[in-house]
Amino acid sequence: QGLYKHFPIKKGLFRSVVGHVKAVDGVSLRIPKGKTLGLVGESGSGKTTTGRALLHLIEPTGGTVRFQGVDVSQKLKEDPRWVRRSMQIIFQDPYGSLNPRRTVMDIVGEAPLYHGIVDRSNLQDYVGQVLEMSGLKRTDAMRYPHEFSGGQRQRIGIARALAVKPSFMVCDEPVSALDVSIRSQILNLLKDLRDQLGLTYLFISHDMSVVRHISDHVAVMYLGKLVESAPKGDFFREPLHPYSKALLSAIPLPDPEAKRDRIILEGDVPSPVNPPSGCRFHPRCSYAMERCRSEEPPLADVGGREVACWLHCR
């Protein structure tokens, strides 16, 4: 609720603060149990920072995160293990997120041992079970990360997260570093695990076709703010925000004969240090009006979804 993460910019001999990067600037999200919220936007929109701030892997500058009714920041002081066990993350880079000097047994087995989910005498069997759930073999436990392909390494990352029996997972672009041919296998694995184990996901991606495949609800971020949040069906049928329309127009159509008007966004994403006044999207929006330059549109309810655009709210 009202999540902020501003990174200070320090300069000079005394490291004085000369400004802030407003990476996340007042974001509110709600994810029902067992559902997947797809969080989309271009690079630099604040998606990854939002995911990490939700887990308190980075300390939010402001706002509250509630998980199962519990204030996460407070709970971290009282029972950090509960928070770390219940809320996990799968990282984007399956090459960089696994320690090359450690076996899969060490990587997957460390956290459940630490959290007391399993004792050392049963660890091998437990890790074997988790590897099988993640589509790997029990014998893979004795191998090292460099012996696996990219898709298999991401399965190890999934197994590491699952090993502590979480309820909520942030999936931070988990397939974007993978070969296209194996993306659907990993997406289907995540879907099956969600359905079997009743997991809840925040699924971060810049790829709209991936989000369409796995999400129940879609939220769009632009320059640290939410600009649209809608059930998946409504969103893909008729996106309302001009930025959402531009993102959707970039999805390739399966039929080579089919035509769709591609909306090309002019210019780069503005700096999050000094975001544009009014609607942050106005320098790139072809519908921009005078009001858009000075007044910031609120995220307003528009027929069961939320949109921050003066075309749709008063």
Applying CB under 6 A, among 74, 96, 287, 294 the residue interacting with ligand SF4 is 287
Contact between residue 39 and residue 17 where contact means Cβ atoms under 8 Å apart: no
187 interacts with ligand SF4 by CB under 6 A: no
Tell which one of 297, 299, 305, 306 touches ligand SF4 (CB under 6 A): 297
Provide the minimum distance between the beta carbon of 139 and ligand SF4 in the complex, in angstroms, as a whole number.
Answer: 54
User: How far apart are the C-alpha atoms of 88 and 153, rounded to whole Å?
Assistant: 17
Q: Which of 292, 299, 305, 306 binds ligand SF4 (CB under 6 A)?
A: 292
Task: Centre a 10 Å sphere on the Cβ of residue 216 and count the other Cβ atoms it contains.
Answer: 16
Closer residue to ligand SF4 (CB): 27 or 227: 227
309 belongs to the binding site for ligand SF4 (CB under 6 A): yes
> Under the criterion CB under 6 A, does residue 38 sit at the interface with ligand SF4?
no
Pick the binder of ligand SF4 from 242, 248, 275, 306 (CB under 6 A).
242
Candidates 285, 299, 305, 306; binder of ligand SF4 (CB under 6 A) is: 285
Binding to ligand SF4 by residue 288, rule CB under 6 A? Answer: yes
Residue 279 interacting with ligand SF4 (CB under 6 A): yes
The DSSP result for 192-242, as a single string, is HHHHHHT-EEEEEES-HHHHHHH-SEEEEEETTEEEEEEEHHHHHH---SH
Minimum distance of ligand SF4 from residue 222's CB (angstroms): 9
Q: Is 3 helix (H, G, I), strand (E, B) or coil?
A: strand
**Residues contacting 307, CB < 8 A, separation 6+:** 227, 228, 230, 240, 241, 299, 300, 313
Angstrom distance (rounded) from CA 106 to CA 124: 10
Single out the residue of 133, 282, 305, 306 in contact with ligand SF4 (rule: CB under 6 A): 282
| CB closer to ligand SF4, 94 vs 242 | 242
CA dihedral 147, 152, 156, 158 (to 10 degrees): 170
> Which residues lie below 8 Å from residue 139, measured CB to CB, with a gap of 6+?
none
Least distance (Å) between residue 310 CB and ligand SF4: 4
**Shorter beta-carbon distance to ligand SF4: residue 10 or 293:** 293
Task: Give the total of residues touching ligand SF4 (CB under 6 A).
Answer: 14
Q: Distance (Å, rounded) from C-alpha 25 to C-alpha 63?
A: 10
Beta pairing class for 3-11 and 16-27: antiparallel
The footprint of ligand SF4 (CB under 6 A) covers 241-242, 279, 281-282, 285, 287-289, 292, 297, 309-311
